[in-house]
Chain A
């Protein structure tokens, strides 16, 4: 048999290349999509500028030093929960996950690719939001390890919950639910404003993943501290979400 154009030469790419290929594709698609970009960057920046200016006007005690970490937490939540849920919901609908299921990319590779894509987008979000924060006069007192832990554990908690929604609902229902939950948490989840702003309700809110992520982010960037309790709450949500997702998620 002579070697033709299609002569078989099968083989999987190295695992790392598969994961980075998948991650860069997912990140590109996320940034190319108008609604996703709105959610990832535009809304957080509006909330930051609006919050700082608005608080100034009504003599609220919160300033840019409180809002910037809160908006960074909001950005992590929007990407790892809302964007991931919507994207995954439509991937199931359009047979993308089914198609990739017969490619050399394993389930683990796909999951790692998704996580890496989220982190890439989050780096971009942190850069843009911090720049706006600095322009508004933000002076952080940062603990880098605390920041990294907050981003990673917050992403893990919200991503596992996002996959839970995407894996158990139809694509349209996922779209609606992910946006609704995002709005509810934005308004009442202690993500942008600190738990202390919620009065007696604050105890409850601090156990939500949004409240825990907001507090962990404020501790890391305003007090140069590592908020052990809040990080534990996030870790617990990640475990609960991952266990529930593992039981319910179907790839088709």
Chain B
């Protein structure tokens, strides 16, 4: 059976539809009425600080947890009730683990392949992901990056229509990260829908057709990377100083700059000014530094990128964001 005939008879419901999802762990609310959709044949990135509810949402889509409120549909199916029909059609890459400690890398991949009806040839994935060297190595002796790639291979070997990949390139070196990006790109070209969570803004900006930004269990923004970065004033001034700012600094600088600018504290010693980066704004920032006896270490002009949008929307405390790529 050809791939074209397969995809053509799949109804056109969204690949993933989350509607008013609420999930609590005891008193803690992990997901607070989240709604989002993932269109088929796209790469969709779900961004959010740690604890935003990304993994909980993903695990609800994967059938690990039942929604406490709201509903979740994956390929038009209920992940719990229609589990048997759904599971063969999705691939899941966990953040870590997922293999016996004594199993050999390729043996594990063959095992998962044999649970499926029309699996990919495992050697294709081994080649593509550069796993040739770990064929007979037990899982526990693989490096973190190799375990990561094997996890991705296990998610893909059953030829799923939809894959959920949780931080696929965390901890990979830049060359391998590019290999994984190319692979994810090719998946989309071949008609697979990809849902990915990531901490790397560059990854989302480069790969994703659509980005959902989640914070504190709700959707705070969604759109194409271009739409998201175009949404506000595009220029930025990044001010880094030698001593930590007093807590009143962002508000005081915003007052000095007047309307039409936004000031976000990125960490103890850096502020992000979003607004018109004209000479007068620059002069105001310099004057504010002088008035407040603040010694700038660097003052950088730039374009508003996805990371800036992310930080503005999620409260700008970059301490909650791991591995943000500059």
Contacts and interface: CB of A to CB of B under 8 A. Distances in A.
22 contacts: A1-B3, A4-B186, A6-B156, A7-B3, A7-B4, A8-B3, A8-B190, A9-B3, A11-B117, A12-B87, A12-B117, A13-B115, A21-B114, A21-B115, A94-B100, A98-B64, A99-B99, A102-B63, A103-B116, A104-B116, A104-B158, A106-B84
Interface string B72-94: 00000000000010011111101
A5 B124 contact: yes
Contact of A8 (B92, B99, B107, B159): B159
A106 B187 CA distance: 27
Contacts of A21: 111, 114-115
A176 interface: no
B94 A12 contact: no
Report the contact-size class of chain B (Cβ under 8 Å from the partner).
Answer: 35 or more
Contacts of A10: 88-90, 116-118, 158-161
B68 interface: no
A32 interface: yes
Interface string A93-129: 0111011011111100000000000000000000000
A143 interface: no
B260 interface: no
Interface in A1-54: 1-13, 17-18, 21-22, 25, 29, 32-33
A22 B103 CA distance: 13
A3 B62 contact: no
Given A5-B124, A6-B156, A106-B84, 10 more contacts: A1-B190, A3-B2, A9-B3, A21-B115, A29-B103, A91-B100, A98-B97, A99-B154, A102-B87, A104-B158
A90 interface: yes
B94 A99 contact: yes
A96 B158 CA distance: 17
A92 B107 CA distance: 20
Interface in B152-195: 154, 156, 158-161, 186-187, 189-192
A33 B103 CA distance: 10
| Consensus secondary structure, chain A interface | loop
A6 B6 contact: no
A222 B156 CA distance: 54
B99 A9 contact: no
B94 A3 contact: no
A22 B63 CA distance: 21
Contacts of B4: 1-3, 7
Contact of A6 (B84, B90, B100, B190): B190
Contacts of B63: 101-102
Contacts of A29: 100, 102-103
Nearest to A21: B114
A8 B160 CA distance: 5
Given A1-B3, A13-B116, A106-B84, A8 B111 contact: no
A109 to B, nearest CB: 9
B321 interface: no
Contacts of B96: 95
Contacts of B117: 9-13
Nearest to B118: A9
B121 to A, nearest CB: 9
Nearest to B117: A11
A11 to B, nearest CB: 3
B101 interface: yes
A8 B187 CA distance: 9
Contact of A1 (B7, B89, B99): B7
B161 to A, nearest CB: 4
